Each structure stands twice: as C-alpha cells, then as structure tokens.
Amino acid sequence: MKTPLHVFALILLTSAATTAVVLPIATAQPSSDPQSAAVPLAGQATAVPATPLVSGLPDFTRLVEQVGPAVVKIDTTVGGRAGARRGTQSPDEELGEDQIPEIFRRFFGPGFQMPGPGGQGTVPRGRAMGTGFLISDDGYVLTNHHVIDRADEVKVTLSDRREFTAKVVGSDERSDVALLKIEGKGLPVLRTANGSAVKPGQWAVAIGSPFGLEQSVTAGIVSAVGRSNPYANQQYVPFIQTDVAINQGNSGGPLLNTSGEVIGINSQIFSNSGGYMGVSFAIPIDVAMNVVDQLKKTGRVQRGQLGVMFSRDSITTEEARGFGLPDTLGALVTEVVPGSPAEKVGIEPGDVIRSADGVVIRQPGDLPPIVGNKVPGTKVKIVVFREGRERTYDVTLSELDDSAVAGGAAPRPGAPSNAPASGANALGLATQDLTDAQRRQLGLDAKEGVGIARVEGAAAREAGLSPGDVVLRVGRTPVGSVAALDRELRGVKPGQTVMLLVRSSGGGSRFVAITPE
C-alpha cells in the first residue's frame, strides 16, 4: 500500500552519540594459481589488487583523504544556564517532555533506542550530536542551526581527536545555518563551490556522523535544485535534493562535488520512518555563506522584503484560463502588505509575478529565495502579468518584517449578519452583506467583502468554498456588497471560468477558479 505524501515527516538530522562495533575481518594467504588470482575465491585474498571487473565508476578515496580532516563532529548539551534562559529546566533538573526541542522528542525521548540488534545505545536526555566543517584555518565552523539550537555547551571534535569548546558566533533559524568558532591555527579547511554551477545528475558526496558513526562517507547524485520546503518555515532556502544516504547525525555536514568543494550543508530528509528513504536536502553553500558574512559583521541576518502574499500552490490550467495567462508559470498575488515596496510601485492582488531579478518564476516557491537573500535597499526588477500583458516594476526592497508577511490565519468572520442571504447566483453561491463589526474583525476596509451564506453549486463546492468564507474580489475588481458581486457576475455563462479572491473562514486569502456548468 502506498504511503500518502502528507504522512511523511520532514526530519532534521541531529543524532545522538553511540558506540561503533568493529568486527574482525578474516584474511587468507593469496593463491599461487594465476587463474584464481583474477577472481579470488571465497575466503581468499590476493597479494595485489585484482583487475577491476567494473570500470568507469568514480573512486572517492582521494577526495575523502583530502577533505575528511576538515569535517568535525559536534556534540551539544541542552539545558543548564542557556537552557534556563530559554525556559527549560535548570542544570540539576531533568528535561521534561514539553521542554525538549521537537527533534529531541522525536528521536531522543525516553526509551529511544538506536537502530540495530537488541536496540543498543539508549540516548540520554538533553544531549545530541551533529556534524560540521571548517571554513577557515583559524577555526570558523559551519553547521546547522537546529544542531546547536538551545545548546548550553557545544563541543567540536576534529578527525585527529582534538576536542574544543566552541563559541556560537551566530545562528539563523530561517536558513538553518549556524556559525561556530574554535581556537586554533593552521586547521584543515574545505573550499566552497560556485552554488549556481550545481546541476541535477552530478555526483555528490557526504561526510558526517550518522548515528554517531564518525567520518562516514556516502555518495549519490544531485536529484534536483531549487526545491522549496512547504513543511517548514524555510521558504528562503532553495534546497538541493539528492539521493545521497543521509541520516540522524549528518546534520550540518558538507555535501561535496567531485572536486572536494562544498556545494551544500546536509540538513533534512523526507521520511515516514525516521531513517533515510532516498530523498535528502541540503542548503546551497552560497545561501549559507551569505548568512555567514552577515553573522560575522552584525550577528544577525537581514533579508529583503517585497511585501506580497501569494498562493503556495502552482497555478492550475483553470486558473490560467481565468486570468488569461498563456501558461501556468508564476506566483499569483493574493494580498499586498500596506506600505510595502510592492504597494508603492503599484503591484496588486490578482497580479501574477512572472520573473524577479531576471529569473523566471516557474512555481511560487521560486520567488522567496530570490527576494529574501538580497540585502534590504536592493533594487529588483519585477515582471507581472495583468489584464493580458506583462508590466515591469523596479522595486526597492525593504527589510523583512516577519509580522507583516507571516501570512498567518486571519480571524474568523464570526456569526452571520442579520442581513438576508441572496438567492444562489450564477456560481451557486448564496451571499449576504457583512456588518461593520465583521469587517473590523477580519481587518477589512469599509464596504469590502461579501459573506458566503450557502454553497449550492457543484462547481463552487469543488472549489472548496464553504459558508463563512468572504469574497473580496471578482477577478481584479473589489466587491463590497451583494449587489456589487451580482453585477460582476452578470452575464457569466456555463463553461466560463471566473476567478474569486476569497478570505477563508479558517484564515488566509486565496484565489479560486469556478467554472459553472
């Protein structure tokens, strides 16, 4: 039976320490028979390596020998003074279930057993392990935010077993990047690659500490680039997707190309079991280094803001028909933040953003990384589609204000007004005027919005509309009364697609396409 996509968990890859068991390997004297030297028999070993039976496959041994020493193990302790400042227990108290970060509850809660025969390796509460790598010979270390989040103490162990107590220079939750500093000189360093040169199909190598097994090497290919993450608050990261085997403990480790250059930081996996299932994600190194530069200079990360909210779903064929689009590319704007750069230049709800800074927006998730990874004050060229043609705006980005663009749930409209509901219109919607109190509760302007009282048409039901939703616009035209809505729908014929901007009773605005039969 296939597992539905929605039950898959997005797993952060922090791991806990364990003990590796080394098994003895039996060896035998080489055979003197030249026929048997080409293909050794079971239990026999050749004096010199036999001729490879398979050629043309990559050999990563030189790469690992050269870059392995710059990959470090990271151990963290959660609790103590830092934990107390963040609302966790004091150092001499045991962390409670509700006080352990989600990733620790998922993998390291009471009774968690490391995979393996007999479930060996019970993990102590409040301790976790990850991976990192050196980016400067004087001790700067790059890793994931979630590896060191809430940590009271961070220990870094080099491949030669030297151990350091690390200082957290800064950390950014949105990109899941953290910068550490250890005291040292002449340390081994990894080079970084040109992030824009990463292509699907190229070989990729990971080095890390899955399940505490240090300096483990896995390899695969880049499956895709520019992946958005709809399951976490990381819309500003265009993830690299790979099939490189990644597990708990690989978090923060390097993803490398065949030149030994870092192309990404291993961060997450999709899994319904907690283990590797062939889909792994890494933060592009150019995104990470942008964060590093800002953390070094100011200790915080600034991001550019356009000031629009848009549907996270890709534009459908029906929606494209409703807006007169030539194709389904772009991000459909549902709201514009008052006073934002987008509002100042004239971008409106119903516009479809087709490109930003010269980059085509193929799907909505492409837009936030382009804008968010630019410094506030940067001028960006935005191309939108409106009323049958494209328009270009030069937008000067402001600094991201989380409260202004969070796109959180809007308040419910509350009880229906006393106004009588209209009969069902051409779309199968029975509507009613909103009261001033309902508009205030929804944050709407006076004479903005029409309440849905009943949904009678099959097409409207299939569009996901329900009583309590509020119609804000028909296409690009605002409506504030039943009469205004009916005027806009006058003349709608069967088979004609109509676009409605709707404020859901559960919160948030979206465009829906309705094609009456």
Q: Which of 180, 122, 106 is nearest to 149 (CA)?
A: 180
Q: What angle do CA 51, 52, 56 make, to 5 degrees?
A: 135
Q: What is the widest separation between alpha-carbon atoms in the chain? A: 99
Cβ 315 vs Cβ 383: under 8 Å: no
The span from the CA of 275 to the CA of 115, in Å, is 10
- The dihedral formed by the CA atoms of 257, 259, 262 and 264, expressed in degrees to the nearest 10: -10
The annotation status of 152 as a binding-site residue, yes or no, is no
Those residues whose C-beta lies under 8 Å from the C-beta of residue 181, and which sit 6 or more positions away, are 139, 140, 141, 166, 167, 169
Three-state DSSP state, 147: helix
Say if residues 180 and 168 touch (Cβ distance below 8 Å): yes
Q: Which residues of 474-488 are buried (b: 16+ CB within 10 A; e: fewer)?
A: beeebbbbbebbbeb
Site of tokens 């035209």: 477
- Tell me: is residue 251 an annotated ligand-binding position: yes
DSSP of 56-102, one letter per residue?
A: S----HHHHHHHGGGEEEEEEEE-HHHHHHTT---TTSPPPGGGS-H
Q: Is 144 annotated as a binding residue?
A: no
Closest CA to 377 of 350, 351, 400: 400
73 vs 209: CA distance, rounded Å: 7
Q: Is 176 assigned to a binding site?
A: yes
Distances (CA, A) of 227 to 170, 292, 362, 364, 425: 25, 22, 12, 11, 41
Contacts of 401 (CB under 8 A, 6+ apart): 305
Contacts of 176 (CB under 8 A, 6+ apart): 12, 144, 145, 146, 234, 237, 265, 267, 283
- Cβ-contact 408, 400 below 8 angstroms: no
> Residue length, the chain?
517
DSSP annotation string for 18-67: --PPPPP----PPPS-HHHHHSPPTT---SSPPPPSS-S----HHHHHHH
**Closest of 216, 154, 214 to residue 179, by C-alpha:** 154
Is 90 marked as a binding-site residue? no
Helix (H) or strand (E) holding 291: helix 285-298
Q: Which residues are catalytic?
A: 146, 176, 251
DSSP tag of 189: -
CA distance 465 to 65: 60
Rounded to whole angstroms, how far apart are CA atoms 482 and 450?
6
Given a contact cutoff of 8 angstroms between Cβ atoms, the answer to whether 199 and 122 are in contact is no
- Residue ranges for the known binding site for substrate are 146, 176, 249-251
